[in-house]
């Protein structure tokens, strides 16, 4: 019994000494930096030899991606927090201190606008719109309503004079009255003429659509580039921000349950493993812009202050003690002590 008590006391003393030693090492900035450097270098040395495919297979990665994208519900605090952040950014007074041109200067905006206009997809979308019947139908609808407004309401003629200037004179007013009995014929004629004219104009501008769009975007930029960001709060209210957040989450709640999204996730991960499966992990880290210096920098940025705070609260020592205590209370320790 005495021998057992002595072993217990020895174990307690050694545990206290070991805990104190480890805590001192962890809190010593120089020692921590040496430890981090050593561990990062050992990891990268291993990463030079270990490929992505050897480290892990695609299936568990797919399971994790599916879990967080599909299975975990987007409820409660997450939408509420996003909404609060969005409202806070909306109310941020700093928006009044900056103009649009302070965020994107003229040269970069022009390069961006030119690049977008030269994208093949931009031209294809514009041509699809211009070639589609909806563009002509819209033109017909606008002109037909302008004509109808004049035929139906004399007061509306003043608003339509830019479109139908010939109705300004008083003789045209008489014609408007006389035309009522043949209104269907007039409507048909207007639609046919407008449809033919709109088709001609739209098709004739197809080749210049890209340049026309670019000129329009540039003109909008020149007109508004010196405006304050705060000026656009009139376009979007705080209630609009709330509505947008709700709509986004409602869309995501439905979209995340589609087979389409699940297929996209699986195929994306399969592609990554097909391309990088035989690539060493160190090269893969470099591909995504993570280098040895980055690992060391972030470890030293967060490690010391976080560990110091954990020590102040007593949590650090408790964690170290909990991890070491099992050995000093084990039969392995008692056997080693006897030997």
Question: What are the pLDDT digits (tens) for 70-101?
Answer: 877 776 677 788 888 888 887 775 556 778 88
Structure tokens at 325: 């205590």
191 and 133, same structural domain? yes
Does the residue 60 lie in any domain? no
- Predicted confidence at residue 240, as pLDDT, reads 84
Which three-class secondary structure state does DSSP give residue 280? Answer: strand
Percentage of the chain exceeding pLDDT 90: 37
* Helix, strand, coil percentages for the chain (3-state, nearest 5): 85, 0, 15
Q: How far is CA 275 from CA 51, 52, 254, 270, in A?
A: 12, 10, 31, 9
In whole angstroms, what is the distance from residue 305 CA to residue 303 CA?
Answer: 6
* Phi and psi torsions of 51, nearest 5°: -90, 165
Which three-class secondary structure state does DSSP give residue 51? Answer: strand
**pLDDT at 294 > cutoff 70:** yes
94 and 132, same structural domain? no
295 and 244, same structural domain? no
CA-CA-CA-CA torsion sign (37, 43, 48, 51): negative
In whole angstroms, what is the distance from residue 123 CA to residue 207 CA?
Answer: 9
250 and 309, same structural domain? no
Structure tokens at 155: 């007061």
- Predicted confidence at residue 163, as pLDDT, reads 47
Does the residue 248 lie in any domain? yes
- Predicted confidence at residue 89, as pLDDT, reads 80
**pLDDT at 288 > cutoff 50:** yes
Q: What is the pLDDT of residues 6-22, one digit of tens each?
A: 888 899 999 999 999 99
Q: How far is CA 90 from CA 129, 138, 200, 321, in A?
A: 34, 35, 45, 48
Number of domains in the chain: 3
135 and 200, same structural domain? yes
Average pLDDT, the chain: 78
Residue 273 contacts residue 58 (beta carbons within 8 Å): yes
223 and 118, same structural domain? yes
Does the residue 85 lie in any domain? yes
1 and 82, same structural domain? no
- pTM of the shown model: 0.66
Q: Which residues pair with 171 in a beta bridge?
A: none
**Cβ count near 143 (within 10 Å):** 19
Does the residue 196 lie in any domain? yes
* Phi and psi torsions of 228, nearest 5°: -75, 150
Residue 11 contacts residue 259 (beta carbons within 8 Å): no
Domain that holds residue 197: 106-227
Comparing CA positions, the residue from 114, 110, 111 lying closest to residue 211 is 114
- Predicted confidence at residue 311, as pLDDT, reads 95
Structure tokens at 248: 């986004």
201 and 217, same structural domain? yes
CA-CA-CA-CA torsion sign (274, 275, 279, 282): negative
For the segment 253-269, the average pLDDT, to the nearest whole number, is 91
Q: What is the pLDDT of residues 218-250, one digit of tens each?
A: 888 888 888 877 777 767 778 888 888 888 888
In whole angstroms, what is the distance from residue 94 CA to residue 112 CA?
Answer: 25
Does the residue 84 lie in any domain? yes
36 and 94, same structural domain? no
297 and 203, same structural domain? no
- Predicted confidence at residue 206, as pLDDT, reads 54
Which three-class secondary structure state does DSSP give residue 291? Answer: coil
219 and 110, same structural domain? yes
**pLDDT at 207 > cutoff 70:** no
Q: How far is CA 261 from CA 192, 266, 311, in A?
A: 46, 9, 45
For the segment 276-299, the average pLDDT, to the nearest whole number, is 93
Residue whose token pair is 């003393």: 13
143 and 111, same structural domain? yes
Does the residue 204 lie in any domain? yes
- Predicted confidence at residue 52, as pLDDT, reads 94
Residue 221 contacts residue 109 (beta carbons within 8 Å): yes
């Amino acid at each position: 019994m005495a021998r057992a008590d002595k072993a217990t006391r020895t174990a307690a003393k050694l545990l206290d000494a070991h805990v104190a030693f480890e805590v001192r090492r962890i809190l010593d900035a120089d020692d921590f930096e040496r430890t981090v450097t050593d561990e990062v270098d050992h990891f990268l040395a291993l990463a030079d030899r270990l490929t992505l495919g050897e480290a892990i297979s695609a299936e568990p990665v797919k399971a994790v991606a599916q879990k967080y994208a599909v299975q975990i519900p987007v409820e409660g605090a997450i939408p509420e927090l996003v909404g609060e952040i969005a409202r806070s950014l909306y109310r941020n007074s700093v928006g009044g201190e900056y103009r649009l041109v302070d965020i994107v200067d003229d040269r970069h905006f022009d390069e961006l606008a030119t690049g977008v206009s030269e994208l093949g997809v931009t031209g294809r979308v514009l041509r699809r719109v211009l070639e589609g019947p909806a563009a002509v139908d819209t033109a017909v609808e606008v002109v037909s309503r302008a004509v109808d407004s004049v035929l139906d309401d004399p007061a509306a003629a003043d608003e339509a004079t830019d479109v139908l200037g010939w109705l300004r004179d008083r003789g045209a007013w008489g014609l408007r009255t006389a035309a009522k009995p043949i209104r269907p014929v007039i409507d048909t004629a207007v639609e046919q003429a407008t449809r033919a004219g709109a088709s001609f104009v739209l098709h004739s501008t197809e080749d210049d659509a890209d340049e026309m769009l670019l000129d329009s975007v540039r003109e909008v930029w020149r007109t508004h580039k010196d405006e304050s960001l705060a000026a656009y709060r009139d376009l979007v209210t705080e209630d609009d921000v709330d509505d947008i957040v709700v709509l986004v989450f409602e869309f995501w709640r439905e979209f995340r349950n589609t087979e389409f999204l699940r297929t996209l996730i699986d195929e994306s991960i399969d592609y990554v493993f097909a391309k990088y499966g035989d690539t060493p992990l160190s090269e893969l880290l470099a591909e995504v812009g993570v280098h040895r210096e980055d690992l060391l920098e972030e470890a030293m940025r967060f490690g010391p202050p976080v560990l110091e705070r954990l020590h102040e609260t007593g949590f650090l020592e408790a964690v170290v003690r909990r991890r070491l205590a099992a050995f000093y209370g084990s039969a392995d320790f008692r056997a080693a002590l006897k030997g």
